[in-house]
Amino acid sequence: MTGPVGVGIVGAGVISQTYLENLTSFPDVKVAAIGDIIPERAQAKAEEHGVPSWGTLEDVLGNPEVELVVNLTIPESHIAVSSQAVAAGKHVWTEKPLGLDREGARQLLKDADAAGVRVGSAPDTILGPGFQSAKRAIAEGVIGTPLFVQTAFQTQGPDLWHPEPAFLFAKGAGPLLDMGPYYFSALVSLLGPIAGVAARGSRFRTERHIHTGPRAGETFPVEVPSSVQVLSTFEGGQHGTHLLSFDSALERHGVVEIHGTEGSIVLPDPNRFDGPTRYVKPLGVFRDGMKTEQEWIDVEQEGTVVGRGLGVLDMVRAIAENRTHVATGELGFHVLDVLLSAQDSAETGQYLEIDSTVAPVPAVPVDFDPFARTL
């Protein structure tokens, strides 16, 4: 690859706006085409963002300027669209999850390897300076050896704000597969692969209402558990507790805590690219029966904050530099395997071992500049 890399976007829904805003600002990326099952939606986005070509999936795949396809379709279409892109000789970046089943996701990675193209998978929030600054602090030993983790995502549900929320309560979504990738990708990137999970889930309502947009007032079915609690065991010996809920009156987002032998660290919201990180050391010796005060220490955030699309940029640069990109398809597969195992555990009541694993996830250099021209 020399010069800006041609990217084609498939899926002109809500999330495409953020991708288009960011990708069109990166000098190393050229958005060459956008396609959608409703071509008029693709046309509207193309005209808004100055994309020269628009149409259907087939139009994007047939465009010779497109070297990498960004798959922003609904989860049930991820494998089919990504597989077509691979068959067309294109690299693929897909929104999370990688797929809805292990067999299809595994075959996608095999096909990509055979075709000599790469697969990357969201979330790319793990590339953001918020998370990367926390990753460096943990690697430097500010909390000693990590022992256990706690995460929580609690909300009343996306049906309160999303104009088309039904797919977020359908197979392949719910809080486990919609929000779980952010939390588990972050933890695997920090602590390594997960060895096993046990989970419980509940579907408190069989249908919910749309609250905003032209379809406000309509109902839709709830197909999957809307609240899930997971216990995890990592290959490195750590363990974790994780709550993911679309049923909580108490809104609590982005809780990620890692507790170690020499301190505890609170990480940024894994659904953001920035945010504060701070850690605390153990209490000192009690004096006269009184606790000594604990002092929170802030971790300086280093790096340029952008947003979704950062993983695509890292991918095109990694291909040119012949290095491994950060958010690989293999990481996406392992996280999918963990989440599907948690889903299975919630149904069977059994602790399940995870068959897959993943290589250590590389860090992002502090001087990584999204707005520099490097190709």
If asked whether residues 54 and 89 sit together in one domain, one would say: yes
Q: Which residues does residue 263 pair with via DSSP β-bridges, in sequence order?
A: 260
- Strands laid side by side in the 54-55 sheet: 54-55, 29-35, 5-10, 68-71, 91-94, 119-121
pLDDT tens digit string along 315-364?
999 999 999 999 999 999 999 999 999 999 999 999 999 999 999 999 99
If asked whether residues 189 and 325 sit together in one domain, one would say: no
Q: List Cα–Cα distances, 52 to 22, 23, 316, in angstroms.
A: 17, 14, 20
Whether residue 349 is contained in a domain is answered as no
Does residue 290 register a pLDDT over 80?
no
Q: List Cα–Cα distances, 228 to 242, 258, 284, in angstroms.
A: 8, 20, 37
If asked whether residues 193 and 178 sit together in one domain, one would say: yes
If asked whether residues 319 and 251 sit together in one domain, one would say: no
Q: Which two tokens stand for residue 279?
A: 């850690």
Whether residue 356 is contained in a domain is answered as no
Percent of the chain at pLDDT > 70 equals 97
Q: What backbone phi and psi angles, to 5 degrees, belong to 187?
A: -70, -40
If asked whether residues 120 and 201 sit together in one domain, one would say: no
Residue 171: band (very low, low, confident or very high) from pLDDT cuts 50, 70, 90: confident
Whether residue 222 is contained in a domain is answered as yes
Q: Which of 238, 192, 197 is nearest to 359 (CA)?
A: 192
Composition of the chain by helix, strand, coil, percent to 5: 30, 25, 45
Per DSSP, helices labelled H in 260-350 are: 310-321, 329-348
If asked whether residues 207 and 115 sit together in one domain, one would say: no
Q: Which two tokens stand for residue 94?
A: 């897909």
If asked whether residues 217 and 191 sit together in one domain, one would say: yes
Number of domains in the chain: 2
**Residue 54, domain CATH:** 3.40.50.720
**Which residues, at least 6 apart from 103, have a Cβ–Cβ distance to it below 8 Å?**
none
Whether residue 108 is contained in a domain is answered as yes
Whether residue 334 is contained in a domain is answered as no
Measure the CA angle with vertex 327, ends 175 and 69; round to 5°.
95
If asked whether residues 113 and 210 sit together in one domain, one would say: no
**Residue 267, domain CATH:** 3.30.360.10
Q: List Cα–Cα distances, 143 to 51, 132, 146, 259, in angstroms.
A: 47, 16, 7, 7
If asked whether residues 137 and 280 sit together in one domain, one would say: yes
Q: Looking at 277, 299, 321, which one is the last position of a domain? A: 299
Whether residue 364 is contained in a domain is answered as no
Choose between 2 and 306: higher pLDDT.
306
Residue 176: band (very low, low, confident or very high) from pLDDT cuts 50, 70, 90: very high
Q: Which two tokens stand for residue 21?
A: 């805003």
Whether residue 370 is contained in a domain is answered as no
Domain that holds residue 29: 5-125+307-329
pLDDT tens digit string along 101-129?
999 999 999 999 999 999 999 999 999 99
If asked whether residues 140 and 270 sit together in one domain, one would say: yes
Task: Enter the pTM of the model.
Answer: 0.94
If asked whether residues 27 and 72 sit together in one domain, one would say: yes
Q: What is the mean pLDDT of residues 56-60?
A: 98
Round to whole Å and give the CA distance between 120 and 110.
Answer: 13
If asked whether residues 177 and 134 sit together in one domain, one would say: yes
Asked whether the CA dihedral 166, 199, 257, 99 is positive or negative, the reply is negative
Amino acid identity at 35: G
Q: What backbone phi and psi angles, to 5 degrees, belong to 47?
A: -70, -35
Whether residue 338 is contained in a domain is answered as no
